[in-house]
Amino acid sequence: MTEAAAAPNCLAGVRVLDLSQFEAGPTCTEVLAQLGAEVVKVENPKGGEPGRILGTGPKPGADAYYFMIYNANKKSVTVNLKSPRGVALVKDMAKKADVFIENMAPGTIEKLGLGWDELHELNPRLIYAQVKGFGEGSPYEHNLAFDMIAQACGGNMAITGEAGRRPVRPGPTLGDTGTGMLMAISVVSALYQRHTTGQGRRLQVAMQDAQLNYTRGAFTNYARTGEPQERGRAGFGPPIPPNDIYPCKPGGPNDWVYVFNSHNNPEHWRRTAKVIGRPELADDPEYVDRDKRMAHADAVNEMVTAWTQQHTKHEAMKILGAAGIPAGAVMDTGDLLAEPTFESRGIIQTQHHPNGDLRMPTFPVRFDGKPPKIAPAPLLGQHTAEVFGSWLGLSERDVSGLKDEGVI
């Protein structure tokens, strides 16, 4: 049987020195690793990056699933950055690297002597990437930030939730993963440009700034109305029904289906009316006209609800979709893991880790029909001798001596 995933090797030969932790930076470097780059995490010898103990793992004392899912396909070395010799080692690695990335607290990397000015002088070709909470020049540039802080300050929460209710934190970690993805495409772009210029670039992205990119639709609404977008009012004005989540049987917490009729395609309504058993309304001027249908919003939603409650969410999606009506079952993680075609297409894979397996999604773009293949996240310091040998030419005896001195 042909494997559903394969290494795309687009970035083969690219060396990435990764001093990031938690999610935003590691998301960026995981994508680079899955695309073929050699990503080397530089970690504290005493425990590694904090993500290794964030929650439980496959077994007691093992690396957390959190670490495993954001650090697949990478290598790990340990370096004591409180040791001058340790910092010197990182500088030596930076001379050999194509990309350097960090997301430490503001000012920390500079205090270590690993700032842009120092490393650019050592290696003018180095792509130097920084992920921060807030941008330089922001009144909050020295503040700490996590995903939920970026989503609050970047506009996401203000437009998420039901009309008239309090803001809601979106489920996806757009503050972290969303920011990391933007940095990944920027790194690849800078690498491409370097072929022409021979020079590295300094890349900086703030988590708050990144969220503005993901809420561009709200800016179009502000341009039209002069007012901030209200929760429950995404798109071009009030939603034309049906345009909502409707309950399905058997009534569990995620037994819902989203049904959508485009505001500029009356055929959606005609199809919907026939499917839900109200064919007499398919061409009724009070319903087929979108503006007039707004006056009957409650009646329309009641009709659709009465129909969806007779079906499971999967049945509803299948029936509506077959009729040419946009519809989507509200699928939770269990639903997604249970859908066999994600695995057969290589989108969900099993990370076979020494501590235990983890089923997880890969980078979803298919290269010649196959998405990138998942390799296990590294054990702490697993590749120290290998990387110091291949990058710096250190012998096993050299590495052993550095361990004895507390440098690695």
User: Which pLDDT score is estimated for 238?
Assistant: 74
N-to-C CA span, the chain:
43
Computed from CA positions of residues 317, 319, 322, 326, in that sequence, does the dihedral angle turn out positive or negative?
negative
Please tell me whether residues 283 and 370 are part of one structural domain: no
207 and 96, same domain (yes or no): yes
Last residue of a domain, one of 306, 332, 358: 332
CB of 213 closer than 8 Å to CB of 143: no
In the block, residue with structure tokens 């249970």: 338
Instruction: Tell me, yes or no, whether 227 lies in a domain.
Output: no
The three-point CA angle 150-151-153 to 5° equals 65
Taking the C-alpha atoms of residue 29 and residue 99, their distance in angstroms, rounded to an integer, is 10
Cis amide prior to 371 (ω within 30 degrees): no
Is the separation of the CB atoms in 48 and 78 below 8 Å? yes
| Sheet hosting strand 243-247, strand order edge to edge | 243-247, 256-260, 327-329
Q: What is the pLDDT along the chain (408 residues), one digit of tens a residue?
A: 469 999 999 999 999 999 999 999 999 999 999 999 999 999 999 999 999 999 999 999 999 999 999 999 999 999 999 999 999 999 999 999 999 999 999 999 999 999 999 999 999 999 999 999 999 999 999 999 999 999 999 999 999 999 899 999 999 999 999 999 999 999 999 999 999 999 999 999 999 999 999 999 999 999 999 999 999 876 666 788 999 999 999 999 999 999 999 988 999 999 999 999 999 999 999 999 989 999 999 999 999 999 999 999 999 999 999 999 999 999 999 999 999 999 999 999 999 999 999 999 999 999 999 999 999 999 999 999 999 999 999 999 999 999 999 999
**Rounded Cα distance, 198 and 125, in Å:** 6
Residue 227: burial class (beta carbons within 10 Å; 0-12, 13-18, 19+)? exposed
Q: Based on the fold, state whether residues 251 and 175 are members of the same structural domain.
A: no
DSSP annotation of 161 reads S
Instruction: Report residue 144 as tokens.
Output: 């700490």
Same domain for 288 and 186: no
353 and 376 in contact (C-beta within 8 Å)?
yes
Q: Is 237 a domain residue?
A: no
Residue 372 covered by a domain: yes
Question: Same domain for 391 and 323?
Answer: no
Q: What is the 3-state secondary structure (H, E, C) of 16-69?
A: EEEECCCCHHHHHHHHHHHCCCEEEEEECCCCCCHHHHCCCCCCCCCCCHHHHH
At residue 79, φ and ψ (nearest 5 deg) are -145, 135
Is residue 357 one of the residues assigned to a domain? yes
Residue 275 sits at φ, ψ, to 5 deg, of: -65, -40
- What is the spatial distance between Cα 57 and Cα 300, in angstroms, rounded to a whole number? 47
The two structure tokens encoding residue 408: 């690695």
Look up the domain containing 308 and give its range: 243-332
> In this structure, are 78 and 112 located in the same domain?
yes
Would you say residue 338 lies in a domain? no
Q: Quick one: pLDDT at residue 233?
A: 76
| Together in a domain, 28 and 140 | yes
Give how many domains the chain has, as a whole number. 2
CATH number at residue 135: 3.40.50.10540
The domain boundary residue, chosen from 269, 298, 332: 332
Beta strands in 200-300 (DSSP E): 202-206, 243-247, 256-260
Active site residues: 176
Backbone conformation region of residue 99, classed left if phi is above 0, alpha if psi is from -120 to 50, else beta: beta
Residue 60 lies in a domain: yes
Choosing from 288, 310, 332, the residue where a domain stops is: 332
| Helix, strand, coil shares, percent, the chain, to 5 | 40, 15, 45
Side chain identity, residue 267: E
Same domain (yes/no): 55, 182 = yes
**What's the CATH code of the domain at 305?**
3.30.1540.10
Specify whether 263 is located in the same domain as 133: no
Residues 137 and 268 in one domain: no
Residue 199 and residue 275 in one domain: no
Cβ neighbours around 399 below 10 Å, total: 20
Query: 155 with 21, same domain?
Result: yes
Answer whether residue 9 is part of any domain. no
pLDDT of residue 1: 41
- Asked if 173 contacts 23 with a C-beta cutoff of 8 angstroms, the reply is yes
Residue 248 to residue 254: CA distance in whole angstroms: 9
CA angle 208/210/212 to nearest 5° reads 80
Residue in 306, 314, 319 with CA at minimum distance from that of residue 335: 314
Instruction: State the Cα–Cα distance between residues 14 and 148, nearest whole angstrom.
Output: 32
Token readout for 112 is 């270590």
Would residue 263 count as lying in a domain?
Answer: yes
Instruction: Please answer whether residues 26 and 33 qualify as being in contact, where contact means their C-beta atoms are separated by less than 8 angstroms.
Output: no
